[in-house]
Amino acid sequence: MGTMSQTGEMGHEKEQETAGDELRRPEPPALPWTVRLQLFALVTAVDIVQRGDGTVNRFLFSLADRQSAAAARPDAHGVRSGDVTVDASRGLWARVFSPASSSAVESPPLPVVVYFHGGGFALLTAASSQYDALCRRLCRELRAVVVSVNYRLAPEHRYPAAYDDGVDVLRHLATVGLPADVVAAVPVDLTRCFLVGDSAGGNIAHHVAHRWAAATTSSSRRVRLAGVVLLQPFFGGEERTEAELRLDGVGPVVSMARADWCWRAFLPEGADRDHPAAHVTGENAELAEEFPPAMVVVGGYDTLQDWQRRYAGMLRRNGKAVQVVEYPAAIHSFYVFPELADSGELVKEMKAKIPTNPDSAGDELELVVASRRDEEDNEEAEEVEDAAGADRPHILSRCPPRDPPRDRVTERRSGGERGGGGGAPAAWTPTVRRPYIRHLNEYWKEQQEWVKAELAAHGYVECEIDDNGDNPCTCGCAHAGRGEDEEEGYGQRLWMR
């Protein structure tokens, strides 16, 4: 283990030396003083408790990790909570949050959110005050029963312990159900179960969803996954991405040094960051055929953002429904700070995808295919939605769009415009430009492959016409087919039923 980790760190330092002058680092994010103070306390504690031998000083961290007890009595917002033991032999338990219902019957039954907390696989618990507060908030705002999993921590319990614990909690829900003293008379629908996780918890949610979707047991039929919501999931690899180099030391919480330490603590002895647990888009990664629809949340100041986008691209290539929601001004773990505006926006976004009434939002996550950051540029996704009920040609350009989507720095949302104008990165150097353009080419290729698969699934047949658009194609459909917005010299592919 020591040899591999030392080699990775030396390579990282060399890359920083060669690329540091060319990558223009953004200014640190503007944060309220209360958030800055909490972040300082957190990262200081994280750095101090990491021992040289790779273990964690649990006692020291417990002094900084404020805990909240479960409360059977409803709080001011009508949410009660209770702890349930799943497996006493390994200390596996979960905290259940439920709205307090004043009526004997609540219609329709509430969805279930199974939450996996962050902490780099090694720190924090389901009772940590920030996660107790977050899960209470989700229970209240989403109107859902929330089950926060207290999985075993690394390095005492390495891969795959956390994944095993997540699967066993789902089995417990399928066989034992939810504690009656917490959910009381609130009806619950276990066939509408959503896995939600942040940071390392997002990684766990992905792997648990894969395992559960691949299972064909009676338990997997009783607890059905309606979707996964990954909040800035912790993925990685031996490669150093552009965002890791550009944001290392700028974005708070996650630095490359801290991330590398967490991987060494969690992965099997001797494994590197290309292990399938970390590198979920690598050649050895697996994805179940029945993997549920996904929502991936990305922050503009998160060093992990490139891995998160690659993950979403992998889901698209495999024909899975996925939505990417980006918050350009967001730091890692922004969702645990209710005073941040993006935190409230995220909860609204989740509420739209996890509705109390299954009939109030169509197919929930299943039909979500567009990325929030590319709303103006996702014509392909709109064509797929139209294709579901229209018998007319659908035109896809063979070439990448002439106007590429906004880059990572200039995206708009609550943070406004940032960086240089015209969609160009703030530091438009060759070092930035080449990977940026390469990413765009890969992105649009993935989009078009996904759209073609969706159209074919709806009964469309691909036909080709020449660039002039006036000759019948080889299939004999004799369509004229020239798009109104097509420029001279751009070929077309039309899709006919």
* Residue 493: partners with Cβ closer than 8 Å, 6 or more residues away: 395, 396, 398, 462, 463, 464
Q: In the annotation, is 219 catalytic?
A: no
Q: Taking residues 12-17, report their average pLDDT.
A: 42
User: Mean of the per-residue pLDDT values for the chain?
Assistant: 78
Q: In the annotation, is 199 catalytic?
A: yes
Residue 478, judged by CB atoms within 10 A of its CB (0-12, 13-18, 19+), counts as exposed
User: Which domain-ending residue is among 333, 368, 403?
Assistant: 368
Determine the Cα–Cα distance for residues 235 and 229; give it in Å rounded to an integer. Answer: 15
Please pick, among 157, 206, 279, 332, the residue that the annotation labels catalytic.
332
Q: What is the pLDDT, as a whole number, of residue 187?
A: 92
Q: What is the pLDDT, as a whole number, of residue 433?
A: 52
Residue 254: CATH number of its domain: 3.40.50.1820
Q: Is residue 3 one of the residues assigned to a domain?
A: no
Q: Is residue 95 one of the residues assigned to a domain?
A: yes
User: Which domain-ending residue is among 368, 393, 423?
Assistant: 368
Q: What is the pLDDT, as a whole number, of residue 435?
A: 57
Same-domain check for residues 236 and 159? yes
Please pick, among 132, 165, 302, 377, the residue that the annotation labels catalytic.
302
**CB distance 290 to 230 below 8 Å:** no
The DSSP result for 194-220, as a single string, is: EEEEETHHHHHHHHHHHHHHH--SHHH
Q: Is residue 25 one of the residues assigned to a domain?
A: no
Q: In the annotation, is 302 catalytic?
A: yes
Same-domain check for residues 411 and 352? no
Same-domain check for residues 400 and 281? no
pLDDT digits (tens, 9 = 90+) for 180-227: 999 988 999 999 999 999 999 999 999 999 999 999 787 888 999 999
The number of domains in the chain is 2
Residue with token string 């074919």: 456
Give the chain's length. 497
pLDDT digits (tens, 9 = 90+) for 215-263: 978 788 899 999 999 999 999 999 999 999 999 999 899 999 999 999 9
Same-domain check for residues 237 and 337? yes
Same-domain check for residues 295 and 329? yes
Same-domain check for residues 144 and 214? yes
Q: Is residue 225 one of the residues assigned to a domain?
A: yes
Determine the Cα–Cα distance for residues 169 and 225; give it in Å rounded to an integer. Answer: 13
Same-domain check for residues 170 and 206? yes
Give the model's confidence band at 56: pLDDT under 50 very low, under 70 low, under 90 confident, else very high.
very high
Same-domain check for residues 434 and 302? no
- Tell me which residue range forms the domain holding 232: 33-368
Q: Taking residues 270-282, report their average pLDDT.
A: 97
Q: Is residue 116 one of the residues assigned to a domain?
A: yes
User: Which domain-ending residue is among 313, 336, 368?
Assistant: 368
Same-domain check for residues 242 and 310? yes
**CB distance 203 to 154 below 8 Å:** no
Same-domain check for residues 348 and 394? no
Same-domain check for residues 360 and 403? no
Residue 99 CA, chain-centre distance (Å), reads 26
Please pick, among 128, 199, 255, 333, the residue that the annotation labels catalytic.
199
Side chain identity at residue 340, one-letter code: L
Pairing verdict, β 294-299 and 322-327: parallel
Same-domain check for residues 348 and 424? no
